[in-house]
Amino acid sequence: MKLLFTPGADGIGTLVLSNPPHNTFDQPLFAERSLVERVLDLPGQKALILQGEGRHFSHGADPAKLREQLRGPAFQHEMDRGKELLALIADSPVPVLALVRGGCLGAGLEIALCCHFRFAASSALFGFPEVGLGLIPGFGGPLFLDGIATRRAAVDLLLSGRMIGAAEAHSLGIVDRVCAAAALEQSARGYLQDLVGKRTVSQVRAVMESLRNARRLPLAEALRRETELFMGVARGE
Amino acid sequence: MGSEGSPLPPSPRPSPLKGEGGIRLVLEQEGGIARLVLDAPPRNEMGQDFFRTLAALVGTLKDLSVRGLVVHGAGRHFSSGADIDALKAGLAGAQPALAAHALFTATSSLQAITELPYPTVAAVGGCCLGSGLELALACRWRVAAANAVFALPETSFDLMPGCGGTVRLPPLVGRGRAVDLVLSGRFVDAVEAREIGLVDAVVDRRDLLAAARRLLERVAA
């Protein structure tokens, strides 16, 4: 899948998943890793909007193409490399907001779930259709849902495979804000501008690193590192 | 307010236990519960004295033989947090290493509260901001009065939370909400705090301490 990146004058870049019409992908490593790394780590950037080209966010992996690879010896490894891309986004040095229009399904939903925020058009659709194909979500969906939706909602969505609209996704906590499609982009950009507009790049990065350390490091180490980050911000580094 | 309790027995050295540095430790005879009172009304600001006193108190707290600890503010508010001007002056001073040391000592004191061998609950009324919220987060539970407001406003002052806020917040409220709260510095009322998992219960203001005691009795039973 192609990635199209546009930097923003306000420090808020836009990354577009591009394989219209449904922005599906053929292999687990759905984009070039070095490109994702560079976009997330772009100097001067304070936040990123992730969206799909055209009418849909992404319908995830193409099941037929995926099945062809299942028997290959390298498939497990390929899946791991794909998941690493999601981990890069989850651990991004700047907040990432998934801007969702149309279908956000399967691995596409898993990509949205690894972002920090999800804003959706009222016509957006969410779901994990994998079970209907005799599979299960394989990109960390169950893990990312934990801490976002209740366990009951997670089990329901993962096992039923049913599709839900933006309003229900919002009530389950999967989506942070729902608005009319025409107002979506401005709503997302406005929110991010309020969030990071008055913050320096080093503040944003220090806060994101410390919040990430909360998950990645032992508590004592995360606390020590927070002090260091605080001192760096206080000195204007 | 229930039983007012008695202060700890006097110690030979000038003791922080009597309320210097804006902290008072009260042992309630009834129920075997201790209270750590942030006692510099009206805002119960946490200055350098406060954190020095807290560091000195940590050993005493560890050795208490109680069923639980309630941390609360004297009067209407929990705490407005650190004195930002003094903090910034310290950071801009000649010896930033001292400021870093003081900050890490404060963080360590809060971690010592997290590691106390008995249940701890913050009873939060009014303002609970910055390091005040970080102290509340260091407790195992948080009970809020309906008038409570919470925020980590440090980023609005060109800083960031420095006493464990960024580390303790994500497991409670989730990854995205933690990013939102810390970077925006926005205020959250008691109802939203309950919704997002920042507090465990919301009660009437007049019932705050009693509710905190009940919670301790329930979890200790």
Which residue among B155, B156, B162 sits closest to A226, beta carbon to beta carbon? B162
Confirm whether B115 is a catalytic residue. no
Q: Which of A145, A211, A228, A235 is the best residue to mutate to test the B interface, defined by the most B CB atoms within 10 Å of its own CB?
A: A211
- CB–CB of B107 and A198 under 8 A? no
Residue spans of beta strands (DSSP E) within A142-234: 164-165, 177-179
d(CA A32, CA A25): 12
Which residue among A199, A213, A215 sits closest to B155, beta carbon to beta carbon? A199
Q: Where are the domains of chain B?
A: 6-220
Confirm whether A185 is a catalytic residue. no
What pTM value is reported for the model?
0.92
Identify the pLDDT of residue B26. Answer: 93
d(CA A137, CA A71): 18
Q: Which of B154, B167, B177, B192 is the best residue to mutate to test the A interface, defined by the most A CB atoms within 10 Å of its own CB?
A: B167
Q: How far is B181 from chain A (nearest CA, A)?
A: 9
Amino acid identity of residue A72, one-letter, is G
Identify the pLDDT of residue A64. Answer: 85
Helix (H) or strand (E) holding B108: helix B96-114
Which residue among A147, A207, A220 sits closest to B182, beta carbon to beta carbon? A207
- CB–CB of A226 and B158 under 8 A? no
pLDDT confidence bin for B88, thresholds 50/70/90: confident
Residue of chain B nearest A219, judged by CA positions: B167
- CB–CB of A227 and B162 under 8 A? yes
Identify the pLDDT of residue B11. Answer: 40
- One of B154, B192, B195, B217 is an active-site residue; which one? B154
Residue of chain A nearest B186, judged by CA positions: A195
Residue B1 DSSP one-character state: -
Q: Nearest-CA neighbor of B170 among A149, A232, A87, A116?
A: A116
Give B174-187 pLDDT, tens digit per residue. Answer: 999 999 999 999 99
- One of A78, A110, A221, A226 is an active-site residue; which one? A110
SS3 B165: helix
- CB–CB of B167 and A210 under 8 A? yes
d(CA B174, CA B166): 11
Q: ipTM of the assembly? A: 0.94
Residue of chain B nearest A90, judged by CA positions: B175
The superfamily in CATH containing domain B6-220 is 2-enoyl-CoA Hydratase; Chain A, domain 1 (3.90.226.10)
Residue of chain B nearest A174, judged by CA positions: B176
Region A27-56: what's the mean pLDDT?
Answer: 96
Give B57-86 pLDDT, tens digit per residue. Answer: 999 999 999 999 999 999 999 999 998 888
From the number of C-beta atoms within 10 Å of its C-beta (0-12, 13-18, 19+), residue A145 rates as buried
Sign of CA dihedral B126, B132, B136, B139: negative
Give A47-63 pLDDT, tens digit per residue. Answer: 999 999 999 999 999 98
A104: tokens are 């956000």
From the centroid of its chain, how far is CA B22?
A: 12
- Residues 74 to 103 of B: which have CB under 8 A from any A CB? 88, 91, 96, 99-100, 103
Q: Rounded mean pLDDT of chain B? A: 90
Identify the pLDDT of residue B94. Answer: 73
d(CA B201, CA A197): 34
